[in-house]
Structure 1
Amino acid sequence: MSDATDTVTRKASGGQTIRPEEAAHFGALAKEWWDPKGSSAMLHKLNPVRLGFLREAVDRHWSGDIRHRRPLVGKSVLDVGCGAGLLCEPLSRMGGAVTGVDAAPENIAAAALHAKGGALDIRYIAGELAEQDLGQFDLVTSMEVLEHVADKRAFVGELAARLSPGGLMVLSTPNRTQASRLLLVGAAEAVGMVPRGTHHWEDFATPEELRELLAAAGLAMGEPQGIAFSPAKGLHLSSDLALNYIVTARRAG
């Protein structure tokens, strides 16, 4: 599956969440996704932090052995807003049967090419999540995507619809605080840590807002954990939610 993008049966839906300008922005960066010193350098630094949280959440949710190198064997995984596969590839190496969906065809092409080079069997699909007849998955992830969609309620609803009963969802997104306005939008873009135009502060969601969105979709949100930065530690998991946070969600009840 990794040598080409999939053709997937489409279903009619009015829940369009893709912003064309956002897809174009990230699609233009596709060729640099896998360059740790390129325009996606911040994501390369962020990825190990997200994976640390995710691995612990997976072990806790399925009562797994923390020594097991492939805790997702036998599990289906969906990563939405997958870019060029920075998260999909480690999830595949953890044993998951991984599907990645992204709004930008350029990203999907780069993801498929990179997965092929690593002999990883990952299914990649370009387009609107609501238009894909994908079924349900044991693990659904969507990292740094919520802030880029046009309709957050519709998007979270689509994510929830893809989660199997007993499944686990993991989401990360910037918090809408004065600290994130100053550092993630102002400073980070000014010094080139992220490309200009990547973030729009008014589209960030607070943990309380995300909890409400998840509840409306029938999901219960776990306790959020911050992703903070310090000169000594770099990016790291923290109790400080001011910049960015990561959460789990499960079906309520």
Structure 2
Amino acid sequence: MLDKSQLSQPINDNTSAQEIARFNQMAREWWDPNGKFKTALAFNTTRAAYMIQHLAYCHNRDPNSERCLQGLSVLDVGCGGGLISEALARKGADVTGIDASAVSIEVAKAHAAQSGLNIRYSHHLAEQEVQAGNKYDIVINAEVVEHVPDQPALIGQCAQLVSPKGTLVLATLNRTWLSWLIAIVGAEYVMRYLPVGTHDWKQFVKPVELASWVKPEKFESVYETGMKLNPLSGQWRLSSSLKVNYIQLYKRHFID
């Protein structure tokens, strides 16, 4: 199983032109809608659309506005190649993406440059943001918590980083027999959407557990949805069932 709680070795600052070319190529592959990551890209399209709409609601914006997140500061914890970061930046958000993987950060930087987007990407962890005393209007932790050993600590750190009137977005996999069947047996062993060993079912998180981990920071759940994949069409859709993939949005129920 992946461990996203430890920083990988940083990329040498004295990066060669050959290395830059390599990251540019990786970015193109990562974002190719017909490539090996096409299932992840389709998943992100549905996931990001839901997040944008409901973040707009949380911050009294019109979700149909082209720049509905204009001026809102966002921290994308475990940003990977920038799938969520770019979607929110296109809606006007001021986005910072952090990740434990140095390679992921370089890929994200390369693709943002190719897309003409101004996103700050940094190779560090959420706990470093907490230590720096940073606060954001929106903090997102999507498909990361199932890859770390101390899950309550990570979610607690993300909650601490949310400003008093801010929103916390959490997305992960539920620990149910159905998630084991679909996300591990189906996705890894049968359909090969993911490398075998990507997930450990015991690390999947129940919604009630997430709620308990953010409770000390005075959050309440305001929106939630499940997600389902149509294996024939390859399309994802929202679902009332949270038994496999799910997304939750939390707001603080007090103001400092």
* TM-score (structure 2 length as normaliser): 0.83
Q: Larger relative CO (CA 8 A, sep 6+): 1 or 2?
A: 1
- Cα deviations across residues 36-63 of structure 1 (Å, max 9, x unaligned)? 3444332201111112211221221122
Partner of 1:66: 63
Deviation at residue 234 of structure 1 after TM alignment = 2.9
**Would the alpha carbon gap of residues 172 and 23 (structure 1) be closer, same or farther in structure 2, given more than 3 Å must change?**
farther
Query: Alignment length, in residue pairs?
Result: 231
Letter in 2 for 1:110: V
Partner Cα separation in structure 1 for residue 37 and residue 145 of structure 2: 18
Partner of 2:159: 160
**Would the alpha carbon gap of residues 74 and 223 (structure 1) be closer, same or farther in structure 2, given more than 3 Å must change?**
closer
**Would the alpha carbon gap of residues 19 and 222 (structure 1) be closer, same or farther in structure 2, given more than 3 Å must change?**
same
Partner of 1:136: 135
Tell me how large the CA RMSD over aligned residues is. 2.1
Q: How does 1:182-193 map to 2 (within 5 A)?
A: 182-190=181-189, 191-193=191-193
Three-state SS of the structure 1 residue aligned to 2:181 is helix
Is 1:33–2:26 an aligned residue pair?
A: no
8 Å contact kept, 1:166–1:250: yes
Q: How does 1:52-201 map to 2 (within 5 A)?
A: 52-132=49-129, 133=132, 135-190=134-189, 191-201=191-201
Partner of 2:39: 42
Partner Cα separation in structure 1 for residue 157 and residue 220 of structure 2: 15
Residue segments in structure 1 that go unaligned for 5+ positions in a row: 1-16, 25-29
Three-state SS of the structure 2 residue aligned to 1:95 is coil
Partner Cα separation in structure 1 for residue 223 and residue 196 of structure 2: 31
Partner Cα separation in structure 1 for residue 221 and residue 92 of structure 2: 25
Deviation at residue 211 of structure 1 after TM alignment = 1.1
Partner Cα separation in structure 1 for residue 35 and residue 229 of structure 2: 20
**Would the alpha carbon gap of residues 150 and 38 (structure 1) be closer, same or farther in structure 2, given more than 3 Å must change?**
farther
Partner Cα separation in structure 1 for residue 211 and residue 64 of structure 2: 32
**Would the alpha carbon gap of residues 93 and 134 (structure 1) be closer, same or farther in structure 2, given more than 3 Å must change?**
farther
**Would the alpha carbon gap of residues 134 and 192 (structure 1) be closer, same or farther in structure 2, given more than 3 Å must change?**
farther
Letter in 2 for 1:218: K
Partner of 1:3: none
Deviation at residue 232 of structure 1 after TM alignment = 6.4
Letter in 1 for 2:112: A
8 Å contact kept, 1:174–1:205: yes
Partner Cα separation in structure 2 for residue 60 and residue 18 of structure 1: 31
Q: Which moved more, 1:47-56 or 1:91-100?
A: 47-56
Three-state SS of the structure 1 residue aligned to 2:87 is helix
Deviation at residue 177 of structure 1 after TM alignment = 0.7
Q: How does 1:200-239 map to 2 (within 5 A)?
A: 200-230=200-230, 231=232, 234-239=235-240
Deviation at residue 223 of structure 1 after TM alignment = 4.3
Letter in 2 for 1:43: A
Three-state SS of the structure 1 residue aligned to 2:95 is strand
8 Å contact kept, 2:52–2:88: no
Letter in 1 for 2:238: L
Residue segments in structure 2 that go unaligned for 5+ positions in a row: 10-22
8 Å contact kept, 1:214–1:221: no
8 Å contact kept, 2:226–2:245: yes
Partner Cα separation in structure 2 for residue 83 and residue 43 of structure 1: 12
Partner Cα separation in structure 1 for residue 205 and residue 36 of structure 2: 24
Partner Cα separation in structure 1 for residue 39 and residue 33 of structure 2: 8
Three-state SS of the structure 1 residue aligned to 2:83 is coil
Deviation at residue 222 of structure 1 after TM alignment = 2.7
